[in-house]
């Protein structure tokens, strides 16, 4: 028969009970931490300008894009929007961006109200400024399509987001607060398969006629403020 105090059938002593309790507490803590990690939403890295938070990476049309840079666009004394440029890979010169293949996005984070007529007038003036006379004449039908798409917007207000994308195989596409813009009075999404038109549009932001502060910001040449504190230098950007 086993010794009632020291035999194999004896109840565990105080030390054994304490070790068991510690082991169980560690297991519960580890399980809770794992569950928290599984259910905690992913926090994306973001930068900030004029109170607008801009994600450093996004997914558009199934493709991952990185933030090349951001800049403040003005109209006279007024702040018009915070512009963000997303590319498949970071580039720091207009020439390199123009030669880059793949999806590209210009994102406008609106800071004040504009009517569709104002938007159209500004777009045509800017487009004509950066295009050659020959290019403008060649693209007059395209410009009309874009004007028709803008007229369907009616107006944009502070907090709105407009995305203007070049999608390979489909063309130049645009959304307003996630809604696809349409043109020509139809319900079909605007898709202008003319890369020259989008290249000229890019010139409005990163070409020689663009304000230096805006151009340098979009080229990733200026220091950015991180959401939550701190700054990120051009070399640290994606």
For the segment 101-122, the average pLDDT, to the nearest whole number, is 93
State whether the Cα torsion 224-230-232-237 is positive or negative.
Answer: negative
124 with 171, same domain: the answer is yes
Give all strands of the β-sheet with 224-226 in edge-to-edge order.
Answer: 52-55, 46-49, 224-226, 231-232
62 with 30, same domain: the answer is no
- Confidence label for 150 from pLDDT (cuts 50, 70 and 90): confident
Q: What is the mean pLDDT of the chain?
A: 83
**How does pLDDT run across 168-179, given as a tens digit for each residue?**
999 999 999 999
55: which 2 tokens? Answer: 């994600």
Q: Which domain holds residue 214?
A: 46-236
Say what the pLDDT of residue 183 is. 66
120 with 201, same domain: the answer is yes
- Confidence label for 207 from pLDDT (cuts 50, 70 and 90): very high
**What is the pTM assigned to this prediction?**
0.79
33 with 80, same domain: the answer is no
Beta-sheet strands, E only, within 10-141: 46-49, 52-55, 57-60, 63-75, 78-87, 104-110, 114-115
Give, as one character, the DSSP assignment of residue 93. S
Checking if the pLDDT of 193 tops 80, the result is yes
What's CA 212's distance to the chain center, in Å? 22
Our count of domains for the chain comes to 2
18 with 120, same domain: the answer is no
Task: Name the 3-class secondary structure at 183.
Answer: coil
Give the burial class of 121: count Cβ atoms within 10 A of its Cβ; 0-12 exposed, 13-18 middle, 19 or more buried: middle
Q: What is the DSSP string of 120-151?
A: HHHHHHHHHHHS-HHHHHHTHHHHHHHHHHHH
């Amino acid at each position: 028969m086993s010794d009632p105090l020291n035999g194999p059938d004896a109840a565990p002593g105080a030390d054994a009970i304490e070790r068991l309790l510690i082991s169980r507490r560690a297991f519960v803590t580890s399980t809770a931490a794992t569950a928290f990690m599984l259910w905690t939403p992913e926090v994306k890295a973001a930068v900030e300008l004029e109170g607008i938070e801009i994600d450093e990476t996004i997914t558009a049309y199934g493709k991952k894009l990185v933030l090349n840079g951001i800049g403040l666009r003005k109209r006279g004394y007024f702040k018009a929007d915070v512009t963000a440029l997303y590319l498949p890979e970071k580039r720091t010169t207009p020439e390199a961006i123009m030669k880059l293949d793949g999806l590209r996005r210009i994102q406008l984070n609106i800071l004040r109200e504009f009517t569709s007529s104002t938007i159209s007038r500004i777009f045509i003036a800017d487009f004509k400024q950066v295009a050659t006379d020959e290019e403008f004449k060649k693209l007059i039908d395209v410009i009309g399509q874009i004007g028709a798409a803008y007229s369907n917007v009616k107006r944009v207000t502070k907090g709105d987001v407009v995305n203007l994308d070049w999608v390979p195989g489909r063309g130049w596409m645009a959304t307003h607060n996630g809604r696809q813009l349409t043109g020509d009075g139809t319900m079909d999404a605007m898709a202008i398969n003319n890369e020259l038109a989008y290249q000229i549009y890019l010139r409005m932001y990163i070409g020689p006629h663009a304000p230096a502060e805006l151009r340098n910001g979009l080229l990733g040449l200026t220091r950015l403020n991180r959401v939550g504190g701190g700054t990120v230098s051009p070399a640290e950007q994606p």
